[in-house]
Amino acid sequence: MRDVYIIGTGIHPWTGFSEQVFADFAATAVDGALKDAAIEWTRIQSIMAGIFIYGGNAGHLSGQYLESIFGETGVPVVNVYNACATGSAAIRMAYNSVAAGETDTALAFGADVSPKGFLTAKSDNAVQDRDVIRWKMGGMPNPIYWALECTKRMAKYGTTEEDLALVKVLMSEYGSKNPDARFKKAYSLEEVLKSVYVCEPLRLYEICPVSTGAAALIITADPELIAKADKPVKINATTMGSAIYGDPTIRISALSCPAVAEAPMLSESYSASRQAYEKAGIGPEDIDLLELPDNSSWHYLVYLETCGFCGEGEADKMLRDGQTRIGGTLPVNPSGGFSSHGEALSAQAIWQVIECANQLRGRCGERQVEGAKVAMAQTYGLMGNSGTTILSI
């Protein structure tokens, strides 16, 4: 396998619902990536697209729609879906194609327009689609799942409501310094603790909404393109994990979970991160900054443990002690996280990797983590999907 570098990144800033079509958002991100890499569109030898599930034919074939905007060149275009880890799957396919020598330069992108109203069931067949059961019979929107786990955590490890609120305080402070974030207001602990409960113990400001956004990444093993790139970033590993039998976490859209743990919590992310550590020869102790999926304040805490940055039940202390702040031992989500962005399903994993790359390239202004050399982006997708990417400069 060859060494593979990120040479170009592009983002369409995160926003709320938009009447604009997803392909235009994608094009903005891809334009940005091409400009950053200083290459022509015709240098792209494969396109790995995260699909936009609410976009019908266009969304399911997002790669073809994108390609036709820039000009069709006959290169392989693959469209992929792995829930909220969709972008991780696109990056991994692009990486594997380039690392294996199938192509020299590849594009991975994702673009999502937030649906008007609520995310809900996508079919009406309860036998083959369990999601129908949780909506029709369970009355269980996504944050319920997180709240059920959070309640367990509070009883087991003594996580407090202040800890949950403190996560939002930190995320909003960083989000206020990120021009690409959707939510730019910094909140005090008191303001967060005064926000209404959505599902106890989680409050409105402690869960992330759905958003519109697009992100694109150009990677290459072409020595000429690497040489002329502005601070190319090495991809040390990019992996996908699935769940492990006996994982006690109740997964979104499931109606049950094992009562006896025979595997780690969030085992899909445990699997993805351990594969990445192994492949990269880099461990949690070597990581200078981490972007993790803070769909809720509970995720922020548990992901530090799942990915091995501390032992079980120790994340609250890391947070309280300031270790996860910019300037601490492990800055977490200097981007402001999902809390400041919201989920743009197929784009978010790519955006997380871009934030890591931007940090390593020293492009993050007020939220810059000084001297960062190694960064990790971690995703979380429903029903056992996860991806880990480790980068270095």
Partner 1 sequence: MENMANSVARIPNLVDWSTGEVRLMSAKCNSCGTYFFPKEHYQHRPGCSREGVEDVLLPSRGKLASYTVQHYPCPPPFKTEQKITPYGIGLVEFEAEKIQVAGIITDTDLKSLELGMEMETTTLTMYVNEEKQQVVTWAFRAVK
Nearer to partner 1, 136 or 320 (CB): 136
Return the number of other C-beta atoms located less than 10 Å from residue 223's C-beta: 11
Exactly one of 19, 56, 57, 196 binds partner 1 (CB under 8 A); that residue is: 196
Exactly one of 21, 58, 133, 226 binds partner 1 (CB under 8 A); that residue is: 133
Nearer to partner 1, 258 or 311 (CB): 258
Question: Mapping DSSP to helix (H, G, I), strand (E, B) and coil, where does residue 67 land?
Answer: helix
Exactly one of 259, 285, 327, 371 binds partner 1 (CB under 8 A); that residue is: 259
Shortest distance (Å) from residue 379 CB to partner 1: 23
User: Using CA atoms, how far apart are residues 243 and 7, in angstroms rounded to an integer?
Assistant: 32
- CA separation, residue 368 to residues 107, 125, 355, 360, 372 (Å): 26, 48, 10, 9, 9
Exactly one of 36, 104, 112, 149 binds partner 1 (CB under 8 A); that residue is: 149
Report if residue 245 touches partner 1, rule: CB under 8 A. yes
Report if residue 252 touches partner 1, rule: CB under 8 A. no
- Cα–chain center distance at 262: 27
User: Using CA atoms, how far apart are residues 32 and 304, in angstroms rounded to an integer?
Assistant: 32
Exactly one of 144, 242, 275, 286 binds partner 1 (CB under 8 A); that residue is: 144
In the window 198-217, what residues touch partner 1 (CB under 8 A)? Answer: 198-202
x-or-dash string of contact with partner 1, 105-124, rule CB under 8 A: ------------xx-xx--x
Nearer to partner 1, 156 or 320 (CB): 156
- Cα–chain center distance at 146: 17
In three-state form (DSSP H/G/I as H, E/B as E, the rest C), the secondary structure along 194-227 is HCCEEECCEEHHHECCECEEEEEEEEECCHHHHH
In the window 61-80, what residues touch partner 1 (CB under 8 A)? Answer: none
Return the number of other C-beta atoms located less than 10 Å from residue 101's C-beta: 10
> Which residues would be at the binding site for partner 1 (CB under 8 A)?
117-118, 120-121, 124, 126-127, 130, 132-141, 144, 147-152, 155, 196-202, 245-246, 250, 254-260
